[in-house]
Homo-oligomer: A and B are copies of this chain.
Amino acid sequence: MMLINKLAILGVGLIGGSLARVLKREAACATVIGFGRNEANLKKAVELGVIDNYAMDAAEAVAGADVIVLATPLMSTEGLLLSIRDCIKTGAIITDVGSAKGSVVDVARRTLTDEQLHNFVPGHPVAGTEQSGVEASFAGLFEKCLVILTPLPQSNGKSLDLIDKMWQCAGARVVIMDVSHHDDVLAATSHLPHMLAYALVDCLAAMQERDELFRFAAGGFRDFSRIASSNPEMWHDICLSNRDSLLKVLECFDTHLLQIKQAIEQGDSQGLVEIFTRAKKARDEYTETYGTVTNINAIE
């Protein structure tokens, strides 16, 4: 179903590329224009049929676009909005795919006009793999994934509706959430696990016997550490963009790990069994309820 005449994807990587692919496959848009810093990457995207053409200038890419998707690293959002704001067509809908929403909304409030802000629909597809770049993109990435939209009080209902339809067309299930609530929930369920995976791998890699350790690391470690292969720049941006919520859950995690540590130190058998049993129960309930729903690609 045709939803969008001209679509501008700013940042043709895993997420931007996969969205372009699925919307083209579903014939939901007439033309897709890409923008990015790396021309070789954009040429590749055209070759792969992910986008129809590209511009090396963001303002040029958004000219005449009906929907503009910001899919560059979070920290580049401000510069990007400043460079395009004067070239956005009246009534064009702007959305983004950032993993933290509070910082993006702050930037949008600072840089966009009131009219543009009415048509701004902040979004976050909870999808990804530890791969990045347009070559890793595929049309099925969002199949059955959650997409969280965090509209502003002034967001236009029609704009929200179109972005909702766009993600449904990509196979996703759309959920509406408050901006700060989104950031708290994602800090706990995604950003915290990434920090633990990075810290675990960094800790093992720093040990003298690192080669041997990795040799004996079993599947638990492999699963656990997979997300430490994620893009460092992207995660740097997420950490600093969602600083407060992330520090809060890191504090909470510390408390729980300290309880385990103290129980081990003190030989507190009952305490240990209680903690492990409680965690197992929660994890088993999670698997029963959501185990088969969650998309295998939804790692972020």
The chain A residues found within 8 Å of chain B, CB to CB, are: 126-127, 146, 148, 184-186, 188-190, 192-207, 209-210, 212-233, 235-236, 239-240, 243, 246-247, 249-250, 252-257, 259-261, 263-265, 267, 269, 272-273, 275-280, 282-287, 289-291, 294-300
Contacts and interface: CB of A to CB of B under 8 A. Distances in A.
B249 A203 contact: yes
A79 B225 CA distance: 37
23 contacts: A127-B218, A146-B218, A185-B212, A186-B216, A188-B204, A189-B213, A189-B218, A192-B200, A198-B275, A199-B257, A199-B259, A199-B260, A199-B279, A207-B252, A215-B290, A219-B297, A220-B227, A220-B299, A229-B283, A229-B284, A232-B277, A240-B267, A250-B264
A290 B197 contact: no
B223 A256 contact: no
B196 A257 contact: yes
User: What is the predominant secondary structure among interface residues of chain A facing chain B?
Assistant: helix
How many identical chains are in the complex? 2
B298 A228 contact: no
A223 to B, nearest CB: 4
Given A213-B189, A220-B299, A232 B200 contact: no
Nearest to A204: B188
Contacts of A224: 193, 196-197, 223-224, 227
